[in-house]
Amino acid sequence: EKTKESVLSKLSRAIAGKSRVDDDVLDNLEEALIMSDVGVETTVKIIERIQDRVARNKYMGTEELNAILKDEIVNLLEENNSVYNNKVTYGDEKKPYVIMVVGVNGVGKTTTIGKLAAQLTNNGKKVYLGAADTFRAAAIEQLTVWAERSKSTIIKQQMGSDPASVAFDTLSSAKKNDADVVIIDTAGRLHNKINLMNELSKIKNVMQKVIPDAPHEVLLVLDGSTGQNAFEQAKQFTKATDVTALALTKLDGTAKGGVVLGISDQFKIPVKFIGVGEGIDDLQLFDRKTFVESLFNI
């Protein structure tokens, strides 16, 4: 926005007329990264890499520094499985392909499921949704609306029923009816609540009674405006459910979601989707380069 200068122009100003990366430049870079929620540790790591590269092949000007910078940051982001690069391909090989969606409260799990289901049904896939959030008020009704919008089939029970049993029913029904993709919604839970985390492992185990290698994907949804706590979320959810992919939501706001740089690097989990709104079409495939660009265009 107007009040804020883009990081690159700030950096350019800091670099202008200088022949090497000095403290001023690094301070500006640090500020930019911290303000995008990259976190101190990852920021230090990036700055060290820049210093290394500059020491090796003395840079000439702003252009080169910018290029090196983006390059180093892109490298922190785990590469997506190539099949996901330009299209959602769930259900092309395994049938039904089972996705379990997890995350803390209110990050956008249910909405992301609705959007993803819509993309899949648009690609001609038969999609089943499992309403395994049986806890939050009207969570089942919310997913029901998304099932209608996305033309998928929802399997549900009463509020308060056993989520593992809902997951079991969903997989059984999907298998019987030859569905291509199953997506299981789960209740939001804070990662420091041991009982709730154990419940996730139980849901997973029960699914394997129907489909032995399910779930094929465990999608952890992170809110793009979350700060350093997202690290702990990634750590604890990975411990409980072997997270295989990340979705980063609410990037249509001013938050940058920079915390995923460190998460993706440390846990080697690719970011596959980004949420950019509340509408059914507001789910995009994650692109490393575009993401890094946007980090620098405050």
Ligand X SMILES: Nc1nc2c(ncn2[C@@H]2O[C@H](COP(=O)(O)OP(=O)(O)OP(=O)(O)O)[C@@H](O)[C@H]2O)c(=O)[nH]1
Closer residue to Mg ion (CB): 110 or 236: 110
- CB burial of residue 66 (10 Å; 0-12, 13-18, 19+): middle
Q: How far is the CB of 84 from other proteins (least distance, A)?
A: 25
Residue 46 in the binding site for other proteins (CB under 8 A): no
Q: Are 129 and 147 in contact (CB under 8 A)?
A: yes
Q: Is residue 32 within a helix (H) or strand (E), and if so which, with residue range?
A: helix 23-35
Residues near other proteins (CB under 8 A), total: 50
Task: Please give the backbone phi and psi of residue 284, each rounded to the nearest 5 degrees, phi first.
Answer: -120, 155
Residues 98-117 within binding reach of Mg ion (CB under 5 A): 109-110
Could you say which of 23, 195, 212, 213 contacts other proteins (CB under 8 A)?
195
Could you say which of 54, 74, 196, 285 contacts other proteins (CB under 8 A)?
196
Q: Is residue 205 within a helix (H) or strand (E), and if so which, with residue range?
A: helix 194-207
Closer residue to ligand X (CB): 98 or 143: 143
Q: How far is the CB of 37 from other proteins (least distance, A)?
A: 4
Could you say which of 135, 165, 284, 287 contacts other proteins (CB under 8 A)?
135
Residue 249 in the binding site for Mg ion (CB under 5 A): no
Residues at the site binding ligand X, with contacts judged by CB under 6 A? 103, 105-111, 133, 136, 139, 187-188, 190, 249-250, 252, 275-278, 282
Residues 83-112 within binding reach of other proteins (CB under 8 A): 104-108
Residues 172-191 within binding reach of other proteins (CB under 8 A): 189-191
Radius of gyration of the chain (CA): 21
Give the whole-angstrom CA distance, residue 43 versus residue 218. Answer: 28
Q: Are 97 and 182 in contact (CB under 8 A)?
A: yes
Q: Is residue 266 within a helix (H) or strand (E), and if so which, with residue range?
A: helix 259-267
Task: Please give the backbone phi and psi of residue 35, each rounded to the nearest 5 degrees, phi first.
Answer: -70, -10
Residue 13 in the binding site for other proteins (CB under 8 A): no
Give the whole-angstrom CA distance, residue 38 versus residue 185. Answer: 29
Beta strands 153-155 and 217-223, pairing class:
unpaired
Q: How far is the CB of 21 from ligand X (least distance, A)?
A: 36
Residue 198 in the binding site for other proteins (CB under 8 A): no
Closer residue to ligand X (CB): 105 or 177: 105
Residue 294 in the binding site for other proteins (CB under 8 A): no
- CB burial of residue 50 (10 Å; 0-12, 13-18, 19+): buried
Residue 278 in the binding site for other proteins (CB under 8 A): yes
Q: How far is the CB of 70 from ligand X (least distance, A)?
A: 24
Residue type, 249: T
Residue type, 276: V
Question: Footprint of Mg ion on this chain (CB under 5 A)?
Answer: 109-110
Question: Footprint of other proteins on this chain (CB under 8 A)?
Answer: 31, 34-37, 39-40, 104-108, 114, 135-139, 141-142, 144-146, 159, 189-196, 223, 225-232, 235, 250, 252-256, 259, 278
